[in-house]
Amino acid sequence: MSIVLSASAIAKQSFGKDGKWVARRARGTAEFRGTLRYCSPNVHEKKEQGRRDDLWSLYYVFIELHCGLPWQTLRDKQKVELLKMHMSDKDLVLNFPVELHGIVPYLRTLDYYQRPDYSMFYEGLLAVMKRVGAKASDPYDWENPETVRNIALRTKLVKLTVAIPLLNTFHLNQNGER
């Protein structure tokens, strides 16, 4: 299984020194860059983004896919930031697999220069797969025709019950203004 998070606009160069890759020196402050929903608490604190922040983003994606992020319906930057900065780790992972609960406290300990323990993530995912009886070779949800039908029905239901009524509340005049 491969997961690719792409944010090439914020990629940073590393350079080889004595045959080793070295992170560039962290800036004192860094302006907000990234996607509000997935950026790490460090981004909200205007800290330099690094490898730890990539894992924060990946973790948020996993939470969203599994049970939803507490802020996923919010668009206001300050409200999202308040939730990320003040929500307890316990509340963040409330409905998330217990095998992955230790990752957030670990990520909070990392600074910009530290290399994260990527195997911690990997081993946690393997433990979840073992517990639920999943294999890496299992088909994705969208590869199962019944699941595809169920997703299509849910999507249609959401469109009919949420999106269309919401759109109908916006009446446009002849100039296209509300």
Question: What is the arithmetic mean of pLDDT over 105-131?
Answer: 94
> What φ, ψ does residue 144 adopt, rounded to 5°?
-100, 115
pLDDT tens per residue, range 15-48: 566 766 666 666 666 666 668 899 999 888 888 8
Look up tokens 């070295």; give the residue.
Answer: 22
Q: What distance in Å separates the CA atoms of residue 9 and residue 45, rounded to the nearest whole number?
A: 19
Mean pLDDT of the chain: 77
pLDDT at 131 over 90: yes
CATH number of 8-138: 1.10.510.10
What is the rounded radius of gyration, in angstroms, for the C-alpha atoms of the chain?
20
Q: What distance in Å separates the CA atoms of residue 148 and residue 135, rounded to the nearest whole number?
A: 20
Cβ neighbours, 10 Å, residue 177? 7
CA distances from 152 to 68, 102, 156, 167 (A): 19, 35, 6, 20
Domain spans of the chain, in order of start: 8-138, 139-178
